[in-house]
Amino acid sequence: MTEHDPYQRARHSIERVTASWAGGLSLEDIRSSFEDFLERAGGRKPAGVTTRPVEIGGMHACWFEPDGIPSGPCLLYCHGGGYQIGSVRSHASLIARLAKATGLRVLGFDYRLAPEHRAPAAAQDALEAYQWLLQEGDRPLAIVGDSAGGGLALATAIAARDQGLALPQGLVLLSAWLDLGLSGDSYRTLEEHDIFSKPGQLRAMARTYLGRGADPTDPKASPVFDVLDGLPPMLVHAGGYDITLDDSRLLATRAQAAQVPVTLTVFEGMYHHFQIFADLPETAQSLIDIAGFLQRLAKDQT
């Protein structure tokens, strides 16, 4: 590999930014740095996708709309960031690339972050965004989420089911962080391989989000342990070097037991949330697979 190899570029950029976070930056500085980092990693947003800000009960949100597609099925996107960092801005490139690859409108939203707003604030905001879409007559074809956003996507579908709301046709989870207790073996066996996330970092984020004395195995905190019966088909993508890999494996096992259709794809050699890097071949393949999954869902809906 050379310095111009996309894998090396990704590795070096991650090492630089995570080293800066370990240097005593304030939370606000880390949030800003994370947004800048993901913007650079994602590259220029693809042509042919228009952004349109909206407000949902005081919560900032934004539509990403492929040109010439003012209506039709949409997606709800839950961004990652350990419940402490991340925003529509940080994930704008990935959301826009998702809209471009699928030909679908995508709504991203800025849920409340910890420690200012602890659990269940983020989950409440995600459900509010989903309910807003239903009220607008825009039932999402799927809820999509990465990392902590994957947990929010799954939790939102569970809450919608429990409240008798119309469900999305599917779920798409990318390196989903579903077990805030970090009980899977991958948190230990892949710690040295995952260049993006580390167990200590996630443990700290879980404590900050849940608060002192909270049980991280509570299904409301870790939706992989909730009842999964009646949920829509799931597409789950994870990296082979992803410390949250066992969360995806556990979800697939429990979904199958609940007779929920699930497809788990593990991208060998990839780390946590690799899709943020637009120039990785695995990112391109992940988006192709997502588009195919959603096209099948849309076809089944008609």
Q: Give the number of other Cβ atoms within 10 Å of residue 292's Cβ.
A: 13
Domain 29-301: CATH superfamily is Alpha/Beta hydrolase fold, catalytic domain (3.40.50.1820)
User: Measured in whole angstroms, how far is the alpha carbon of residue 258 from the centre of its chain?
Assistant: 23
pLDDT of residue 185: 98
Q: Are the C-beta atoms of residues 57 and 112 closer than 8 Å to each other?
A: no
pLDDT of residue 112: 98
Strands 105-109 and 142-146: unpaired
pLDDT of residue 15: 86
Strand partners, 109: 61
The rounded average pLDDT for each run of 10 residues, N- to C-terminus, in the chain (302 residues) is 71 86 86 93 90 97 92 94 97 97 97 98 98 97 98 98 98 98 98 94 96 94 98 98 98 98 97 94 97 93 66
As a whole number of angstroms, the distance between CA 80 and CA 61 comes to: 15
pLDDT of residue 166: 98
pLDDT of residue 189: 98
As a whole number of angstroms, the distance between CA 133 and CA 125 comes to: 13
pLDDT of residue 94: 97
pLDDT of residue 113: 98
pLDDT of residue 302: 60
Strands 74-78 and 105-109: parallel
Residue with tokens 């939790």: 155
The dihedrals phi and psi of 172, each to the nearest 5 degrees, come to -125, 115
